[in-house]
Amino acid sequence: MTVPVLALGALALSACSGSSLGQSGGGGSDGEIKVGLLVPLSGVYAPLGQDMRNGFQHYLDQHEGKLGGRKVKVVTADEGEGPQTGVPTAQKLVTQDQSAVVVGVVNSATALGLRDFFTESKKPLVIANAGADAITGANKSEYIWRTSFANGKVGAPLGPAVAKEVDGSVYLIAADYAAGREQVSGFRKTFEAAGGKVAGEKYTPFGKTQDFQPYLSGIRGSGAKAVYSFYAGAEAVSFVKQYKQFGLAGKTQLYGAGFLTEGGVLDAQGQAAVGVKTSLHYSTEIDTPRNKQFVADYRKAFQKAPTVYAVQAYDSAAVLDKALANAKNADGAELIKAFAGVGTIDSPRGQWSFDANHDAQQKYYLREVRSSGGTTVNAVVRELG
């Protein structure tokens, strides 16, 4: 998103940086831990928020409502569509609701707008989706940890694979906002390093593009043998359907970041998405006992398949489970020490751990949309290097 990051109020900062929360702020007298869950429950991102809420709750349901052996009270709040709503709502989770830790956040601008607040408040924020590269990285905060992905790392593993598979140049196209540019940049860097050639690069107006025909004509005229794209939500549905209608599918291989064909987006695309190849760190089709059991249990609980958004929130609960088991109390400084020592997470996506930048160091998979049992799935072709 290109929404300006909001300035944080000095009053809000002072309200939660003192001793009012006690040495183990967020913990009740009976040892109960308050966890703030900040996800969009309204607006365009609401489907993602519901998946994240389900994923987090699913982990709790499997562990008798406890994390680290301590009973958990989840305080759920609506992030909305951006920092105008997400930032003050997150502040309230800490200052008024007295959450020991906050989990969630879909929008990158919201996450960036909250970094200083959580750092100065000395409260951990576990990012379960927002992908802006600058959230972590070289300027990381000790109080910000991410169980999802960094934008530039999603397409990067796909670059060498595409350079090897495609005999010719590749056209790059994405929505014109930070995530689109970071996703394309990550792919392009490794693609060109592997000898790949770029036929052209185009960014379409974010949230405003409904007719992709002029851009599809540009792709056809470029002579590209394949396309790498980044779209999500309604734009992903429109782009993939129109790519098929325009006659490019089957002739010019379409690749993309996995959000192009993830969850409800794939359901809406239907057969138009068959053959699209993507890179992502999760698929329901990962062929491991751990994932098969997770998918079966999740379907039973929510009558639908899990998505990457659900898994990221599920894993956030797993991180908290291990951290709280090793923390002396729920004090923020104590918790972040425990975060640093959680080690390997045994996830449906495969085993992963935090890297030095507090990002998830994880496997990425080459996925291909295929028809299966009357529906479409993101079949796993192989792991990406």
Average pLDDT, the chain: 92
From CA 100, how far away is CA 351, in angstroms rounded? 26
Does the pLDDT at position 7 exceed 90? Answer: no
| Confidence grade of residue 6 (pLDDT, cut at 50, 70, 90) | very low
Mean pLDDT is lowest, of 27-36, 218-227, 228-237, for 27-36
pLDDT score recorded for residue 385: 80
Predicted TM-score (pTM) of the model is: 0.90
Does the pLDDT at position 9 exceed 80? Answer: no
The share of the chain scoring above pLDDT 90, in percent, equals 88
pLDDT, tens only, 321-359: 999 999 999 999 999 999 999 999 999 999 999 999 999
From CA 125, how far away is CA 380, in angstroms rounded? 32
Mean pLDDT is lowest, of 2-6, 30-34, 41-45, for 2-6
Candidates 7, 334, 349, 335; CA nearest to 148 is 349
Does the pLDDT at position 240 exceed 60? Answer: yes
The residue count of the chain comes to 385
From CA 321, how far away is CA 342, in angstroms rounded? 9
**How buried is residue 279: exposed, middle or buried, by Cβ count under 10 Å (0-12/13-18/19+)?**
buried
Other Cβ atoms less than 10 A from the Cβ of 293: the count is 11
Candidates 108, 100, 161; CA nearest to 137 is 108
pLDDT score recorded for residue 372: 85
Q: At 274, which amino acid appears?
A: V
pLDDT score recorded for residue 3: 35
pLDDT, tens only, 139-190: 889 999 999 999 999 999 999 999 999 999 999 999 999 999 999 999 999 9
pLDDT score recorded for residue 369: 98
Q: How far is CA 74 from CA 31, 33, 56, 91, 255, in A?
A: 14, 8, 10, 16, 38
pLDDT, tens only, 101-116: 999 999 999 999 999 9
Does the pLDDT at position 257 exceed 60? Answer: yes
Residue pair 30/288 in contact by the 8 Å Cβ criterion: no
pLDDT, tens only, 180-223: 999 999 999 999 999 999 999 999 999 899 999 999 999 999 99
Beta bridge partners of 226: 170, 253
Rg (CA), the chain: 21
pLDDT score recorded for residue 26: 55
